[in-house]
Amino acid sequence: MAPHRDIGWDHATPISNDRKQAKCNYCGKIVHGGITRMKQHIAHVTGQVEACTRAPKEIRELLKKHLIQGKSMRAAHKKKLEALQNSIRLEDDSDEEEDEVFEINEDEIDAERKHLKRAMAESRNMEFMEQQRRHSVSGDLPSLNFKAGGSSLNTKGSKRNFFESSMKKTEDNAKKVGRAISKFFHFNAIPFHAADSGPYYQTMIDTIASVGPGVKGPTGKQIGGEYLNEEMQEVVQYVDSLKQKWKTYGCTIMCDGWSTRTKHPIINFMVYCDRDMIYHSSVDCTNKAKTADFVYTLMDKVVESVGVDNIVQIVTDSEASMKAAGKKLMRKRKHIFWSPCAAHCIDLMLEDIGDILSVKDTIKEARRITGFIYNSDKVVNLMKTYTNGRDLLRPGITRFATEFVAMESLLRYATDLKRMCTSREWVEYNNTSRRRHEAGDISDLILNERFWKRIR
């Protein structure tokens, strides 16, 4: 039977092959010394490693309980094993003395053989109980009760058969749990991927399993009332813990302007410090001209609320009003630096490159190829048979860089597209009066080596 995966690896990522180093999934800290140290880090077990500041309360309590149970079970197992070894050692010593003086009869041999079998069965029992304890804490196997002396194992056959029956029972229980949870998802039209998002899904199952049957779930009023308030208090405490770092490390104010789906202009402000970023505020700029003075006023208010001495720099995009406001702020606050957003600068550079006539024509031709392919479901399915089920990346509308990403995707599947447009299915699927002529032009374009050289 393969060793069970420790529950700690659900909350950490191994760094090296020997798993002696691990990275916390919550705060990103790298912990040396194995998964036990990582569990102590997340569970706030002081004395060996620094405590995690971002792990949820439920996760901390779960791992703390796991560590306490593991320690007590190991101590009990060690004590029983030492007692068993001492007992067997005493038996061996007495047997040697008897061999020197007495002749052992058949009844004594049978009694000794039975005693050793019981001792071996008890040793196997303790080993299996330790593995079962690990399964039970991690939620993989239900708790099982064993009779002293290993009699329950012997009466049900071999150890292999017992393991197989236990595993089958575990699979049946897991299926029951899966069906019950799936019904809840289906009935309430909850997106299925919600089961794969974040650690709270498995934490909820582990907590219910630890409490046991008969517990009554919270009502909708409780979820939206007292429990929501407790969650808000926990978030506020977490944000306060991040604010305490501002004076030590300094922070960066990030300003981002964008438009909502209803075309309302919004300016967001975020605060970044020590690899953590939190939302600060948003301003609705509807019917307001985003002049340099207006943006400067907003920035200065945010600087005052965060604390002038806590801020090192402010980052915005390269828009003229943002740039002018940033320089004006530097003149007032001598120790604060304004920096343009690197991503926005790269996007503007690519936009200037895209204005070159040869590049603009190449982008237009690449758009034409992807547009023609994705205008027909049959052609899309045909393309996927040649690209092993992969899609072509298509240009977006928010960033000019997506134009070049789309051309890179087109170049990656150049050979597959050439094979596709020379196939019999290509001619068959585009054999309509509306698509026949354009399909010929697209084929000539895909088979033209000069087009692919321009993309390169």
The DSSP string of 5-56 is PPGGGGSEEE-STTS-EEEETTT--EEES-HHHHHHHHHT-TTTSPPPSSS-
Q: pLDDT at position 104, please?
A: 44
Model pLDDT, residue 1 = 40
Give bridge partners of residue 30 from the DSSP assignment. 23
Q: Give 155 or 8, the one with higher predicted confidence.
A: 8
Cβ atoms of residues 121 and 149 within 8 Å: yes
Helices (H) and strands (E) in the chain, counts: 19, 8
Q: How far apart are CA 132 and CA 319, in angstroms?
A: 62
CA 25, CA 11: separation in Å to the nearest integer? Answer: 6
CA angle 65-68-73, nearest 5°? 120
* pLDDT on residue 394: 61
Cα 297 from Cα 326, distance rounded (Å): 11
Q: Return the exposure string of 282-297: e unless at least 16 CB atoms fall within 10 Å of the residue's CB, then b.
A: ebebeeeebebebbbe
246-340 falls under which CATH superfamily?
Protein of unknown function DUF3822, C-terminal domain (3.30.420.260)
Q: How many CB atoms lie within 10 A of CB 82?
A: 10
Say which DSSP state 193 is in: G
Token digits of residue 199: 């650690």
Q: How far is CA 56 from CA 42, 52, 62, 65, 232, in A?
A: 9, 10, 10, 14, 13
pLDDT score for 110: 57
Q: Output the pLDDT for position 399.
A: 57
What was the pLDDT predicted at 123? 56
Given this model, what pLDDT does residue 309 score? 85
CA distance 39 to 52: 10
- Report the pLDDT value the prediction gives residue 131, as an integer from 0 to 100: 57
Is there a contact between 336 and 329 (Cβ–Cβ < 8 Å)? Answer: yes
Q: In DSSP terms, which residues pair with 279 in a beta bridge?
A: 270
Spatial contact of 263 and 280, defined as CB atoms under 8 Å apart = no
pLDDT of residue 99: 43
Query: Which residues are paired to 269 by β-bridges?
Result: 255, 281
pLDDT in tens, 354-407: 778 888 888 888 888 888 888 888 888 888 888 887 877 765 544 566 777 778
Tens digit of pLDDT for each residue in 169-214? 677 778 888 888 888 888 888 888 888 877 788 888 888 888 888 8
Q: Is the dihedral of CA 217, 223, 225, 230 positive or negative?
A: positive
* Predicted confidence band of residue 139 (pLDDT cuts 50, 70, 90): very low
**Position with higher pLDDT, 226 vs 87:** 226
Q: How confident is the model at residue 23 (pLDDT cuts 50, 70, 90)?
A: confident
Distant-in-sequence contacts of 346-355, Cβ < 8 A, 24+ apart = 346/401, 347/399, 347/400, 347/401, 348/318, 350/400, 350/401, 350/403, 350/404, 351/400, 354/400, 354/403
State residue 116's pLDDT score.
55
Residue 51 scores a pLDDT above 60: yes
- Express as a percent the part of the chain with pLDDT over 70: 78
DSSP label at 438? Answer: H
State phi, psi for 337 to the nearest 5 degrees.
-110, 140
251 Rama class: left (phi>0) / alpha (psi -120 to 50) / beta: beta
Token digits of residue 283 = 């301003």
Average pLDDT over residues 327-335: 84
Place of tokens 């890179």: 408
Average confidence score pLDDT of the chain = 76
The answer to whether 234 and 57 have CB atoms below 8 angstroms apart is yes
Which position has the higher pLDDT, 94 or 184? 184
Q: Is the pLDDT of residue 447 over 80?
A: yes
Q: State residue 74's pLDDT score.
A: 78
More confident residue, 197 or 95: 197
Tell me what pLDDT residue 252 has: 87
- Average pLDDT for residues 318-332, to the nearest whole number? 83
Instruction: Identify the pLDDT of residue 97.
Output: 46
Q: For 235-239, 312-316, 344-348, which range has the lowest pLDDT when averaged over its residues?
A: 344-348
- The ranges assigned to domains in the chain are 7-163, 246-340, 351-455
